Structure 1
């Protein structure tokens, strides 16, 4: 599981670098899919990752920081800022954590249960899903997307 988090972080950084080549108007343009724009989607990816990991650790998340992030630089800074904490948690993952239960409260106030393992895999798949959306948008902009290839990334 740790390798897939490291994969996502590498690919995310490559997308953040890729975005530096685009004018702000393209980063902010509302698009079909994702959460509306390239910037909003990148912010959403970082926010969701951190929020779920906070839930698993029993810590309050810091969603207010993500609500005010509206530039590529701010989103990249948040990604970089929270990575060590997330990485420490991911590196400390033990098989016995897999079946622990997270009590989650939905937006409507109802309660739901998830296993920690299910949440971890959701976080991984969530980012991969949105990176696929970024690839579609890059092609719409006639730009080469970041490679999604896991091979040759030195992650083994």
Structure 2
């Protein structure tokens, strides 16, 4: 499981590097699909990862709006800050945690329960899904997207 998180973190960093050569108005521009635009999607990825892991650790989730972090530097800083808390949890993952259950109440009042292993895999797949959207938007800008290859990343 940790290797897939490490993969996502590397790809995320590659997208941050990619963003450095894109004008801010393009990073903030609303686009079709996803949660808005390039920077908002990166913020969303970070928010979802951190909020779910906080839920698994019994901590309050992050509830700040994107508008409070609407620059590349702010999103990168937020990612680095949250990574300090997320990484130790993912690194300490054990088989015993797979079947633990998180029970919560959605904002609409619905009670939900998910196994920890299911949540961890959801977080991984969620980021990969949105990275695909970034790749499409990259091509729309005439830029080469970040590679999604797992191999040749030095993870093994």
Aligned residue for 1:145?
145
Deviation at 1:106, TM superposition (A): 1.4
| Secondary structure, aligned partner of 1:104 | strand
Which whole-Å CA distance do the structure 2 matches of 1:64 and 1:29 have between them? 20
| Secondary structure, aligned partner of 1:79 | helix
| Secondary structure, aligned partner of 2:114 | strand
Matches of residues 48-127 of structure 1 in structure 2 within 5 Å?
Answer: 48-64=48-64, 68-127=68-127
Residues 101 and 114 of structure 1 are in contact (CA less than 8 Å); yes or no, is this contact kept in structure 2? yes
TM-score normalised to structure 2 length: 0.97
| Secondary structure, aligned partner of 1:124 | helix
TM-score normalised to structure 1 length: 0.97
Q: Kindly report the root-mean-square deviation, in angstroms, between the aligned alpha carbons of the 2 structures.
A: 1.1
Q: How many residues align?
A: 156
Residues 47 and 66 of structure 1 are in contact (CA less than 8 Å); yes or no, is this contact kept in structure 2? no
Aligned residue for 1:21?
21
Residues 40 and 66 of structure 2 are in contact (CA less than 8 Å); yes or no, is this contact kept in structure 1? no
Deviation at 1:67, TM superposition (A): 5.4
Aligned residue for 2:9?
9
Deviation beyond 4 Å, 4+ runs, structure 1: none
Residues 98 and 116 of structure 1 are in contact (CA less than 8 Å); yes or no, is this contact kept in structure 2? yes
- Unaligned ranges ≥5, structure 1: none
Residues 42-100 of structure 1, C-alpha deviation per residue, up to 9 Å, x if partnerless? 10000000000000000012322755111111000010111121110001111010000
Aligned residue for 2:154?
154
| Secondary structure, aligned partner of 1:64 | coil
- Unaligned ranges ≥5, structure 2: none
